[in-house]
Structure 1
Amino acid sequence: MTESARRPVAVVTGATSGMGWQIALDLARDHEVIAVGRSASALAELDARPNIRAFAADLTDAAARDALVASLDRVDVVVHAAALGGAISLPDSSTDSWLAYLQICVIAPAELTRLCLPLLRSVQGTVIFIGSGAGTRPAPGSAVYTASKHALRGLADVLRIDEAASGVRVSTVAPGPTDTPMLQSSRGEAGLPWEPERYIRPESIARAVRFVVDASPDVQITDVAVRPRREIA
Structure 2
Amino acid sequence: MGTHLITGAGSGIGAAVATRLAERGEELWLLARDAGRAARLRARFPGSHTLIGDLSAPDRLSWALGQQPQPVELHSLLHIAGVVQLGTVGDLTTKVWNETLAVNLIAPAELTRLFLPTLRVGRGQVVFVNSGAGLYAHAEWGTYAASKHGLRALADSLRAEERANGIRVTSVYPGRTATAMQQKVRAQEGLPYDADAYIDPESVAATVLSALDLPRDAEITDLTVRPGR
TM-score (normalised: structure 1) = 0.90
Distance in 2 (CA, whole Å) between partners of 1:46 and 1:170 is 26
Cα distance between partner residues in 1 of 2:96 and 2:4: 30
Letter in 1 for 2:213: D
Structure 1 residue 27 corresponds to structure 2 residue 10: no
Map 1:101-112 to 2 at 5 A. 101-112=100-111
Relative distance call for 1:51 and 1:206 in structure 2 (3 A) is farther
The residue aligned with 2:12 is 18
- Which residue matches 1:162? 161
Matches within 5 A, 1:128-147: 128-147=127-146
Inter-partner Cα distance in structure 1 for 2:62 and 2:7:
11
Choose from 51, 55, 67 the match for 2:51. 55
Count of aligned pairs between the two proteins: 224
Secondary structure (helix, strand or coil) at the match of 2:154 reads: helix
Residues in 2 aligned to 1:203 and 1:83: alpha-carbon distance in whole angstroms: 17
Q: 1:52 offset after TM fit, Å?
A: 1.9
**Aligned to 1:182, what secondary structure does the other structure show?**
helix
- Name the structure 2 match of 1:3: none
Farther-moved stretch of structure 1 (52-61 vs 192-201): 52-61
Distance 1:118 1:84, change over 3 A: same
137-146 or 156-165: bigger deviation: 137-146
- What displacement does 1:23 show? 1.2
Q: Distance in 2 between matches of 1:189 and 1:207?
A: 29
Offset of residue 65 of structure 1: 4.2
- Correspondences of 1:38-187 after superposition (within 5 Å): 38=33, 43-48=38-43, 49-61=45-57, 62-68=59-65, 71-72=69-70, 73-187=72-186
Instruction: Tell me what 2:3 maps to.
Output: 9
Question: Given the two structures, how large is their TM-score scaled by the length of structure 2?
Answer: 0.91
Give the percent of matched residue pairs that are identical in Structure 1 and Structure 2.
Answer: 41
CA deviation vs aligned residue, 1:104-131 (integer Å, no higher than 9, x gap): 0000000100111111111210000010
Structure 1 residue ranges without an equivalent (≥5): 1-6
What whole-Å deviation, never above 9, does each CA across 1:20-74 have from its counterpart, x for those lacking one?
Answer: 1111111222321111123766543431323422333212333334443652222
Supply the distance in 2 between the matched residues of 1:71 and 1:42 (Cα, whole angstroms).
Answer: 17
- Structure 1 outlier segments of 4+, above 4 Å: 39-42
- Structure 2, unaligned stretches of length 5 or more? none
Query: SS in structure 1 opposite 2:77?
Result: strand
The answer to whether the 8 A contact 1:47-1:53 is kept is yes
Counterpart position of 1:189: 188
SS at match of 1:163: helix
